Chains A and B, each alone.
Chain A
Amino acid sequence: MTTTEIKTVLDVQDLKTQFDTQDGMVHAVNGVSFHLKRGEFLGVVGESGSGKSVTMMSLLRLIPMPPGEIVSGQAYFGDDDLLSIDLEKLRTIRGGRVGFIFQDPMTSLNPVLTVGYQIIESLRLHTKLAEKERRPRAKQLLDLVGIPDAETRLKNFPHELSGGMRQRVMIAMALACDPEILIADEPTTALDVTIQAQIIAIVRDLREKLGTAVIWITHDLGVIAGLADRVVVMYGGQIVEEAPVAKLYSNPQHPYTEGLLGSLPRLDQKGQELINIKGTPPNLYEFPTFCSFAPRCPYVMDKCWEENPPLMDLGEGRKTRCWWDLDNERPRYGS
């Protein structure tokens, strides 16, 4: 068997981001490392405040600085470290080789410019297309994301479109320059389920056609179950588990993932008991010196309070940040 090595398009190492606020330092991202292979679909799951959005925004230096500060880390995109290259160069990457879709399509489109103008602007900045080729390309992009009557839609302002349509426009804009990576931050959270299903179908279809690598950030374990190849679970500004999608759902290795799956009601099950995860997500005013899930964890031991576990490699692409071996019901020290 020949396993040709698939190229890694993004390699993030030890990313730390913090915010200096009135109430003190907020440690939003505390040493996040992950990679993305070409054409891969990576799901990033976490609750609000888990650091999933800040991580992705930090990569493109889109967080407001100050109060934000990227304290450490590298993010290799090809040979470039996105965190240290000069801003001019980063600008050609943002919206060009890396596309971004935000949660709220209303606030991320400019309300006083037509949809067509905004797509063409991105084509003008990031492609070598001649001026008269841009409009047909913009129309083609709207066709691609399933917007009917694209010619008319180009002349519309964002407020003339529904939420689902606006999100399609955002996807079209993100795809305008054939990005190598598409980062989607909760792109369907503000939409109704039937519209969400439309968007998911489009993204799935586009992925097959274009082979773009995707990072899909969500709080909904349901949405990425059918989309992702690999999933990263974030909690308290850290990655607590990483696994191929099937393994994560069938055999979670971190108590938080296990709890999250147990607390989710399922459409296909009746009379299921919902497991409470007691307590609340951590506040991030202190840098974690112990396991941030310890206060809520049913398996908590003394060790968890003494030392924050590292992200341990379990093989087969699985990693967990936990001292407790869930499968064998015993502590997991020194692996």
Chain B
Amino acid sequence: MAVDTAGAPAVPVPSSDEALLSVRNLKKHFPIMKGVFRRQVGAVRAVDGISFDIRRGETLGLVGESGSGKSTTGRVILQLENATEGKVLFEGVELTETTGNKLRAMRPRMQMIFQDPHASLNPRMNVASIIGEPLSEHNKAKGPDRKKRIEELLSLVGLEPKHANRYPHEFSGGQRQRIGIARAIALNPDFIVADEPIAALDVSIQAQVVNLLEDLQHVLGLTYLFISHDLSMVRHIADRVAVMYLGKIMEMTDVDRLYNNPKHPYTQALLSAVPVPDPEIEASRERVILEGDIPSPANPPPGCPFNTRCPAAQERCVTEVPEWRELEPGWWVACHFAETESAVLIDSVI
């Protein structure tokens, strides 16, 4: 039972009964073309064999550094990119095999919130058209119903009905993100991929938007995949967290276990690098300072993807890809030495 790069069929799976969405050995490789004849000379392994479930009503945090493949994961799940290999199951329906009108009929149930509220809203459309577009596209509401629904959505995200006739440039970043959120929830989706929804916002505005996302989750029963590099915010909003590195998931479990007692050396290093706004804690904190940078996903190292930077790396890490295994119920790790002392880099990450 090993997830190896050749794509062995037997994939161990972190399953649960109430999975809304399941990802199985998902891969997305972007070809690298070269020369006059555009021959493929390699591939960027953006997502390289990941498996997990998202339970109904939960928030799964997907964290990692830039280039780790977290955004691509979100896009492939929503079928905005075709998967190279593997499956995405939404309530048992295999999205990777679904196309055309069938897929289109599924789309209202899964939506996306984008990172940049400046680039993701059409500057030539007013707010009513932006929020109303999904309603018209999927024939959900017309005429007065549509207008009523738009007003309802605006008030849900904390904007006023009078904002409907304005254009995106008239709003601040935080308000624009609210418009993007209103558009995402317009069709009553079950599942939302939020791709760095607060990264472009000012610090004092981030809390507003996160609180809004939490409120909407309670009111509408939403399930989130919350993609972020902000580990402090993920601790706040997520129920479970998956840590990605170079296209693979290194560790996944519920927030408390992950933040209190991370098993994977990468998770430990990542968490210990996050500054805490408290001078006393900062003064006494232990840190794992990783050397070097994240390797290129076009040329990942053999064995464990983290072996080039891991302070605990041994020979086996270079030769053998660690198995994605369940260490304890609900606690998944991809490290050969996760249960041994040698994988413990520091006593406490905070």
Contacts and interface: CB of A to CB of B under 8 A. Distances in A.
Interface of A: 47-48, 162, 164-165, 192-198, 200-201, 219-223, 225-226, 245-246, 249-250, 259-261, 263-270, 272, 274-278, 280-281
Given A222-B276, A225-B275, A226-B279, A265 B270 contact: no
Given A193-B231, A222-B276, A225-B276, A260 B287 contact: no
Contacts of A194: 65, 269-270, 273, 289-290
Given A222-B277, A267-B276, A274 B210 contact: yes
A48 B208 CA distance: 17
Contacts of A223: 275
B299 to A, nearest CB: 14
A278 B281 CA distance: 29
15 contacts: A47-B203, A162-B293, A193-B270, A197-B272, A222-B232, A226-B282, A249-B277, A260-B203, A265-B232, A266-B235, A267-B232, A267-B350, A268-B276, A270-B259, A272-B236
Interface of B: 65-66, 172, 174-175, 202-208, 210-211, 229-233, 235-237, 255-256, 259, 269-283, 285, 287, 289-291, 293-294, 349-350
A280 B207 contact: no
A280 B117 CA distance: 15
Contacts of A200: 275
Given A222-B232, A265-B232, A265-B233, A197 B273 contact: yes
Contact of A266 (B203, B204, B232, B271): B232
Most chain A CB neighbours (cut-off 10 Å) among B204, B206, B287, B350: B204
A221 B207 CA distance: 14
A18 to B, nearest CB: 22
Given A197-B287, A275-B207, A280 B174 contact: yes
A267 B271 contact: yes
Contacts of A281: 202, 204
A267 B289 contact: no
Contacts of A267: 231-232, 235, 259, 271, 274, 276, 349-350
A251 B46 CA distance: 45
A264 B291 CA distance: 28
Contacts of A269: 235
A263 B205 CA distance: 9
Contacts of B269: 194
A250 B278 CA distance: 8
Nearest to B66: A192
Given A194-B270, A222-B277, A265-B232, A201 B287 contact: yes
Given A219-B203, A267-B276, A268-B350, 9 more contacts: A47-B203, A193-B273, A197-B273, A222-B277, A225-B282, A226-B275, A265-B235, A266-B278, A269-B235
A167 to B, nearest CB: 12
Contacts of A220: 203, 275
Contacts of A164: 293
B318 to A, nearest CB: 20
A30 B49 CA distance: 54
B202 A47 contact: yes
B258 to A, nearest CB: 11
Contacts of A195: 293
B208 A276 contact: yes
B260 to A, nearest CB: 9
A269 B281 CA distance: 12
Q: Which 3 A-B pairs have the closest CB atoms?
A: A226-B282, A222-B275, A263-B207
Contacts of B235: 265-267, 269-270
Contacts of B203: 47, 219-221, 260, 263-264
Nearest to B349: A267
Most chain B CB neighbours (cut-off 10 Å) among A196, A270, A272: A270
A222 B293 contact: no
A192 to B, nearest CB: 4
Nearest to A197: B273
B293 A260 contact: no
Contacts of B285: 226
Contact of B277 (A197, A259, A264): A264
Nearest to A224: B275
Most chain A CB neighbours (cut-off 10 Å) among B174, B208, B287: B208
A196 B273 contact: yes
A192 B289 CA distance: 12
B244 to A, nearest CB: 12
Contacts of B291: 198
Nearest to A227: B282
Given A226-B285, A277-B207, A193 B229 contact: yes
Contacts of A275: 207
Contacts of A246: 279-280
Nearest to A200: B275
B207 A193 contact: no
A241 to B, nearest CB: 14
Given A263-B203, A276-B208, A277-B204, A270 B255 contact: yes
B276 A266 contact: yes
